[in-house]
Copies of this chain bind each other. A is one copy, B any other.
Amino acid sequence: MSEVRTVEWVNGYVRMIDQTRLPYQFVYVNLKNYREVAKAIRDMTVRGAPAIGVAAAMGMALAANASRTKGRKRLIAELEAAAEVLRRSRPTARNLFWGVEVVLRRAETTIGGAREVAAAVVKQAQEMAEEDVQANRKIGEYGACLLDDGNQILTHCNTGTLATVSYGTALAPIRSAIRQGKRVKVIATETRPRLQGARLTTYELLSDKIPVTLIVDGAVGYVMRQGMVQKAIVGADRITRKFVANKVGTYLIALAAQANHIPFYVAAPSSTFDLQSEGSDVKIEERSSQEITHILGKRITPIGVPVYNPAFDLTPVELVKGFITEKGVIAPDGLEANASLLQT
């Protein structure tokens, strides 16, 4: 799986793995315009903060590529309109907004007419895909130093190749440690309601022959108490000065890790950091109640039960032992000092 590309620019299309069909079918879909990309982000054909960041950038590239305008200014106006649609696809992941911003900045700073700007935008999106893979390999290198031979690592949701362009964020240190010859194993939470752990993380790790054991989300505390976990590593959707926004359930993992003296790490590229924000303004996405009331199209609850379905939660940074980034491992009290290093 570490050579697979989750999102890729192929002959003027955006090619993605359709993650809603995993683990049953491994299927690519080709998206032809930015509206299809926005829809793919919204319905979670593509998910994972770094992957949707690059997908959004590629959506911008599709908009640029499809434009027939001759005027530079009009092209940029079109790109701004596309940016607005893409930004509205999901609210929490910092990377999505970052992906759109970086492309817009490139458009604005490119000298030339519409043609040159469009070409630069397409190039920018492709570079961002490549940079994501490079960043993840760096995260892998820095993170692998923190893992010891024989460690069992608890992780949440999916933070692997499928959550990025390739290689992963929280799974990157595990991949790199294994390449270094360390025998590390993974405990994956199933991650309700969308079951990214049960469907995607197990799929990736089984494919790569990395030992994995699946548990329900509620068993996190018990496996930690039983001494089955030496480290916990999760990804992130947005990291502010005070909070980590990540898949709902992350905060409980951090609390259980603290109570059991287990180091809890967050692995994310700098594009996930939003250090101008303290965190109280982070918008936590609420998704459809059907994600909880139905599984595989079948209703599991009584009809008419009210549901609350926040997709993310907020973990205070004090519970994080270190942030594993492509620029090094940063302690929570070092976030502010490293704000300019992590600015993207």
Binding site for B on A (CB under 8 A): 23, 187, 189-193, 195, 198-199, 202-203, 206, 211-223, 225, 247-252, 255-256, 259, 284, 292-293, 295-296, 298, 300-302, 304-310, 312-314
For A187, what are the chain B residues with a Cβ–Cβ distance below 8 Å? 308
Partner of A251, one of B203, B225, B312: B225
- Chain A's interface: helix, strand, loop or mixed, by majority? mixed
Closest residue of chain B to A207 (Cβ to Cβ) is: B302
Say how far A240's CB is from chain B's closest CB, in angstroms.
15
Partner of A249, one of B195, B219, B296: B219
Given contacts A203-B302, A219-B249, 11 further A-B contacts (CB under 8 A): A23-B302, A192-B216, A202-B302, A213-B306, A216-B248, A219-B248, A219-B308, A222-B248, A223-B310, A255-B255, A298-B298
Q: Are B301 and A198 in contact (CB under 8 A)?
A: yes
For A313, what are the chain B residues with a Cβ–Cβ distance below 8 Å? 218-219, 221-222, 225
Partner of A223, one of B216, B292, B308: B308
How far, in angstroms, from A296 to B297 measured CA to CA in the complex?
11
Closest residue of chain B to A192 (Cβ to Cβ) is: B216
Q: Are B216 and A292 in contact (CB under 8 A)?
A: yes
Known contacts A213-B306, A225-B314, A248-B216; is-contact A300 B295 (Cβ 8 Å): yes
Q: Are A218 and B302 in contact (CB under 8 A)?
A: no
Partner of A221, one of B213, B216, B255, B301: B255
Say how far A220's CB is from chain B's closest CB, in angstroms.
6
Say how far A237's CB is from chain B's closest CB, in angstroms.
13
Q: Are B292 and A214 in contact (CB under 8 A)?
A: yes
For A247, what are the chain B residues with a Cβ–Cβ distance below 8 Å? 218
Which 4 residue pairs spanning A and B have beta carbons closest together? A218-B249, A222-B313, A221-B251, A23-B302
How far, in angstroms, from A309 to B198 measured CA to CA in the complex?
13
Say how far A332's CB is from chain B's closest CB, in angstroms.
16
